Structure 1
Amino acid sequence: MASGGAVRPVGLMGGTFDPIHLAHLVTAQAALEQFGLDRVVFVPAGRPPHKLDHAISPAEDRYNMVVLATQTNPSFEVSRVEIDREGPSFTVDTVEELRGRVPDDTTLYFITGTDAILGLDTWREPGRLVTLCQFVAAPRPGYPGRGAKDGLGRLEATYGCRFLDVDVPALDISSSDLRRRVSEGRTIKYLVPEPVEDYILSHGLYRPEPGV
């Protein structure tokens, strides 16, 4: 909380985090500083509705990796709200639940990739969601700039909201590439925090099944 009793906004960063990597952390820190956030709460997804047909790592492993990645930053927290909830993890339910845990006049900044926001029409109750939080769009390296800008403008007009941009250094790191690297026996050093790398290797995550 800021001096004088003013309530500072709180950042929310949801994701599968399979695994969490440095680009996630850099984006969260950039948003923390740019928007004067009190803290950023990382929310590992339980059962992402858009990935029900995809194999993802166990929720506890993904949660543990986020805890390890954020443990040295006092402005970062990790929530189990989706991990402990039964059924698919819909963002609108998560934001609504977390809103009930902060003062009424707290603004929630939902930090996610521009590519994810462009699919807002497919999310559950997008019209209500934009009234519960302020979206922050994080750039994705290589993602079409002009097309993304036009798409965001259309969504702003449709839902009567505004998407804020966060200024983030270009880091072309993706969880899918990291999983592939591990499966191929390649290093992920300097792409994830060292404790996360150690966890992945010691728990045998992302290695191909025997005989595959």
Structure 2
Amino acid sequence: MDKSELKKFGILGGTFDPPHLAHLRIAEEVRENWELDKVFFIPAGIPPHKKEGSFSSFEDRLQMVKLAIEGNPYFEVLDIERVIIPSYTLKTLQRLKEIYPESEKYLIIGWDSFCEFETWWNYEEFLDYTNIIVVPRGIKDWDSALGYFHNKIRELWKDNDKALKKVFFGKTTLFDISSTLIRKLVSQKRSIRYLVPEKVYWYIKEKGLYR
């Protein structure tokens, strides 16, 4: 698919240390629900919220994402944050606008990230570059979450009409899986099978990650 055919695409960024099945299923559901042509997985170069040395190398994380999305023609990994240091999401969005100026973009973020969105670097400018889809993590009361969601939008963008049209609540399947849990299980010499794709499982095992 060339750039001219890419009308709408999703952006799923993160440390991906490691990528797991919840990442894949959420991306698939968002792609289907919003009729996206593609979802780009973008591993963070040096995440600004993490201490350097506390995460796996960029190359390991990039390779794991490649293995995780293998076989899905709608998924693609981009390594553009390799040179964006620190990996501020806004800088990535600006770069994507340069590469795909005509495409409509949808940034996929988790509920926990949305709840602290005011801590993101220059978050006020995001809507100039992308739509935002907030997907659930740890939500137990949907009605309360939806009320909080609308209040948060007003708090972040000051009743901006643009925000009401560009920020969406994506009701996807709830997964109680996290990269933190997977790393902990590996360190305890417990199984992580069926939490990560099989090829990612073997990569972690062969590379001796998270021990």
Q: How much has 1:33 moved relative to structure 2?
A: 0.4
- Between structures 1 and 2, the one with greater helix share: 2
Pick the aligned partner of 1:174 from 175, 178, 182.
Answer: 178
Give the partner amino acid of 1:154. Answer: N
The C-alpha deviation readout for 1:152-176, integer Å capped at 9, x for no partner, is 3233213121321223222211100
Please say if residues 118 and 151 of structure 1, whose CA atoms lie closer than 8 Å, have aligned partners that are also in contact. no
Structure 1 residues 102, 190: CA separation in 2 closer, same or farther (over 3 Å shift)?
same
Structure 1 unaligned regions, length at least 5:
208-212
Q: Does 1:109 align with 2:106?
A: yes
Partner of 2:107, secondary structure, is strand
Aligned equivalents of 2:190, 2:203: Cα separation in 1: 16
Provide the residue aligned with 1:93 in structure 2: 91
The 5 Å alignment of 1:2-151 reads 8-52=7-51, 55-85=54-84, 87-104=85-102, 106-142=103-139, 145=142, 148-151=145-148
Q: How much has 1:42 moved relative to structure 2?
A: 0.3
Provide the residue aligned with 1:210 in structure 2: none
Aligned equivalents of 1:56, 1:110: Cα separation in 2: 23
Q: How much has 1:147 moved relative to structure 2?
A: 5.6
The C-alpha deviation readout for 1:77-121, integer Å capped at 9, x for no partner, is 001011233x210000001101111142x2100011011012111
Aligned equivalents of 1:83, 1:144: Cα separation in 2: 38
Structure 2 unaligned regions, length at least 5:
none
Aligned equivalents of 1:180, 1:154: Cα separation in 2: 35
Aligned equivalents of 2:86, 2:141: Cα separation in 1: 30
Structure 1 residues 147, 89: CA separation in 2 closer, same or farther (over 3 Å shift)?
farther
Q: How much has 1:148 moved relative to structure 2?
A: 4.1
Partner of 1:181, secondary structure, is helix
Between the two proteins, the alignment pairs up a number of residues equal to 202
Q: Does 1:192 align with 2:196?
A: yes
Aligned equivalents of 2:141, 2:52: Cα separation in 1: 27
Q: How much has 1:7 moved relative to structure 2?
A: 5.7
Give the partner amino acid of 1:186. Answer: R
Give the partner amino acid of 2:110. Answer: G
Q: How much has 1:151 moved relative to structure 2?
A: 3.9
Q: How much has 1:187 moved relative to structure 2?
A: 0.6
Provide the residue aligned with 2:150 in structure 1: 153
Provide the residue aligned with 2:187 in structure 1: 183
Give the partner amino acid of 1:113. Answer: G
Aligned equivalents of 2:204, 2:28: Cα separation in 1: 23
Please say if residues 30 and 167 of structure 1, whose CA atoms lie closer than 8 Å, have aligned partners that are also in contact. no
Please say if residues 112 and 137 of structure 2, whose CA atoms lie closer than 8 Å, have aligned partners that are also in contact. yes
Give the partner amino acid of 1:60. Answer: E
**Structure 1-normalised TM-score?**
0.88
Give the partner amino acid of 1:75. Answer: Y
Partner of 2:81, secondary structure, is coil
Q: How much has 1:67 moved relative to structure 2?
A: 0.4
Q: Percent of counterpart pairs with the same letter?
A: 38
